[in-house]
């Protein structure tokens, strides 16, 4: 536990130049010519000597100095609602990977889904002079995207979309439709939706996709059976309890727009004496690592979280490059498991149609 001594200052271009008896600009030129021959930068021999020395001395350019000169930091700011949400954390893993591959660093901050914090964190990132921003927490109607645009800050959206701005998201509408197809085919006719926060396109689109498809199939979803809910387990439990307290029959199936809310709802149902997967079907969204491992494995729509993060970086790079980019909606996949494999009121073993699902790793209805 002793205090550290002074850190040895890093090797500089000047050090290398001095040791070779050449000018610092020559060293710089060589180190920037990626071709082995160093066309135009220096003679083949000089170039080789420079490269060898840089390697043996463990030279790494000072990024602050480089940034000061080039006016680019090769840093990306990422803002998410909260990293302790496994969905965002996983997307961030994709961001980190892709950013590292293109030699960019990333700052991440939590906004806790507060408009104030979003703005504050964005300002902190900008004060750090990041080259661009990835926003994973955009709210419907937020003015932040317009402000950033007016200031010509390069940014892309991730996780949630916002019409008119480039985003990398799951095709949440398609995901909602998959769930509708599944529940309908298993025999459910009375359903409810724990719809998430109204400001998040994820919940809104998943709900809309479900309702749209449900109607196509001939079903209906009463307005009071679409309940807003927070995205965490506690929020799911509350919404689940609220649902049970409504007058009228308890629905036979519930679609929660994310896994955590689904887990919370399962807890509420169980507390009320209902057996999930038997008395009431529950479907989640995202297929987080937990879903398949729960005591009662949870049917869920898998969204390609890592890929969504990776794509966001690719898009941002193009935006930073001045290109126009289109939004991408990554296709989801349904994984049917015990929590919804049969319909309480419907005959067990009803045909299960996994619309659009590969079913890999999923569990068919028994």
Residues 225-264 within binding reach of a copy of itself (CB under 8 A):
232-234, 236-237, 260, 263-264
Angstrom distance (rounded) from CA 16 to CA 245:
74
Structure tokens at 188: 């459910």
- Quick one: which H or E segment has residue 77? strand 75-80
Residue 64 within binding range of a copy of itself, rule CB under 8 A: yes
Beta bridge partners of 79: 109, 135
Within 15-34, the residues that bind DNA by CB under 7 A are: 21-26, 28-29, 31-32
**Site size with a copy of itself, rule: CB under 8 A:** 75
- Quick one: which H or E segment has residue 168? strand 167-170
Q: Toward a copy of itself, which CB reaches closer, 27 or 316?
A: 316
CA 133 to chain centre: 14
Binding mask 169-208 for a copy of itself (x = CB under 8 A): ----------------------------------------
Residue 152 within binding range of DNA, rule CB under 7 A: no
Residue 324 within binding range of a copy of itself, rule CB under 8 A: yes
Q: Toward DNA, which CB reaches closer, 9 or 295?
A: 9
Residue 109 within binding range of a copy of itself, rule CB under 8 A: yes
* CA geometry: angle 191, 192, 194, nearest 5 deg: 150
Angstrom distance (rounded) from CA 210 to CA 366:
24
Identify whether the C-beta of residue 350 lies closer than 8 Å to the C-beta of residue 342. yes
Listed ranges 138-146, 196-204, 289-297, 328-336: which one lies at the site for a copy of itself (CB under 8 A): 289-297
Q: Toward DNA, which CB reaches closer, 65 or 275?
A: 65
Structure tokens at 354: 């996994």
Among 4, 40, 273, 366, contact with DNA (rule: CB under 7 A): 40
Q: Toward a copy of itself, which CB reaches closer, 203 or 240?
A: 240
State the minimum distance, in angstroms, from the CB of residue 95 to DNA: 25
3-state SS assignment for residue 205? helix
CA 294 to chain centre: 22
Residue 62 within binding range of DNA, rule CB under 7 A: yes
Residue 149 within binding range of a copy of itself, rule CB under 8 A: yes
Structure tokens at 104: 């960019």
State the minimum distance, in angstroms, from the CB of residue 47 to DNA: 7
Residue 272 within binding range of a copy of itself, rule CB under 8 A: no
Residue 128 within binding range of DNA, rule CB under 7 A: no
Among 15, 53, 107, 307, contact with a copy of itself (rule: CB under 8 A): 107
3-state SS assignment for residue 6? coil
- Quick one: which H or E segment has residue 281? strand 281-286
Binding mask 5-34 for a copy of itself (x = CB under 8 A): xxxxxx------------------------
Among 18, 68, 100, 271, contact with DNA (rule: CB under 7 A): 68
Angstrom distance (rounded) from CA 165 to CA 143:
12
State the minimum distance, in angstroms, from the CB of residue 116 to a copy of itself: 14
State the minimum distance, in angstroms, from the CB of residue 132 to DNA: 18
Residue 55 within binding range of a copy of itself, rule CB under 8 A: no
Structure tokens at 128: 């750090």
Residue 61 within binding range of DNA, rule CB under 7 A: yes
Structure tokens at 81: 């609602």
Which residue has tokens 């130049």? 17
In degrees rounded to 5, what are phi and psi of residue 341? -75, -15
User: What DSSP string runs through 113-156?
Assistant: T-HHHHHHHHHHHHHTT-SEEEES-PPTT-SHHHHHHHTT--EE
Among 19, 36, 39, 349, contact with DNA (rule: CB under 7 A): 39
Identify whether the C-beta of residue 168 lies closer than 8 Å to the C-beta of residue 311. yes
Residue 55 within binding range of DNA, rule CB under 7 A: no
Residues at the interface with DNA (CB under 7 A): 9-10, 12-14, 21-26, 28-29, 31-32, 39-44, 46-47, 59, 61-62, 65-66, 68-71
């Amino acid at each position: 536990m002793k205090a550290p001594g002074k850190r040895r200052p890093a090797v500089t271009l000047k050090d290398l130049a001095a040791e070779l008896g050449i000018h610092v600009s020559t060293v710089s030129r060589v180190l920037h010519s990626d071709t082995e021959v160093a066309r135009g930068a220096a003679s083949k021999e000089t170039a080789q000597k420079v490269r060898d020395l840089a390697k043996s001395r463990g030279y790494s350019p000072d990024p602050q100095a480089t940034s000061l000169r080039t006016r680019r930091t090769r840093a990306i700011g990422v803002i998410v609602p909260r990293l302790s949400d496994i969905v965002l954390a996983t997307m961030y893993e994709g961001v980190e990977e892709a950013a590292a591959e293109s030699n960019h660093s990333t700052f991440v901050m939590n906004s806790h889904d507060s408009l104030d914090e979003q703005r504050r964190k964005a300002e902190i990132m900008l004060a750090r002079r990041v080259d661009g921003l990835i926003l994973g927490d955009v709210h419907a109607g937020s003015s932040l995207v317009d402000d950033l645009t007016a200031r010509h800050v390069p940014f892309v959206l991730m996780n949630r979309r916002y019409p008119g701005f480039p985003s990398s998201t799951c095709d949440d509408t398609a995901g909602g439709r998959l769930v509708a197809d599944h529940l309908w085919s298993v025999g459910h006719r009375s359903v409810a939706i724990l719809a998430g926060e109204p400001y998040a396109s994820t919940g809104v689109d998943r709900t809309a996709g479900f309702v749209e498809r449900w109607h196509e199939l001939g079903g209906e979803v009463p307005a009071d059976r679409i309940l807003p809910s927070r995205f965490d387990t506690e929020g799911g439990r509350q919404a689940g309890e609220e649902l049970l307290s409504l007058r009228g029959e308890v629905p036979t199936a519930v679609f929660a727009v994310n896994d955590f809310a689904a887990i919370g709802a399962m807890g509420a149902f169980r507390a009320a004496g209902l057996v999930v997967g038997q008395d009431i079907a529950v479907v989640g969204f995202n297929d987080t690592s937990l879903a398949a491992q729960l005591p009662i494995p949870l049917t869920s729509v898998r969204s390609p979280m890592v890929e969504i993060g990776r794509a966001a970086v690719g898009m941002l790079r193009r935006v930073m490059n001045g290109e126009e980019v289109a939004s991408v909606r990554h296709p989801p996949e349904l994984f049917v498991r015990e929590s919804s494999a049969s319909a309480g009121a419907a005959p067990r073993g009803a045909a299960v149609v996994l619309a659009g699902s590969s079913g890999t790793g999923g569990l068919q209805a028994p």
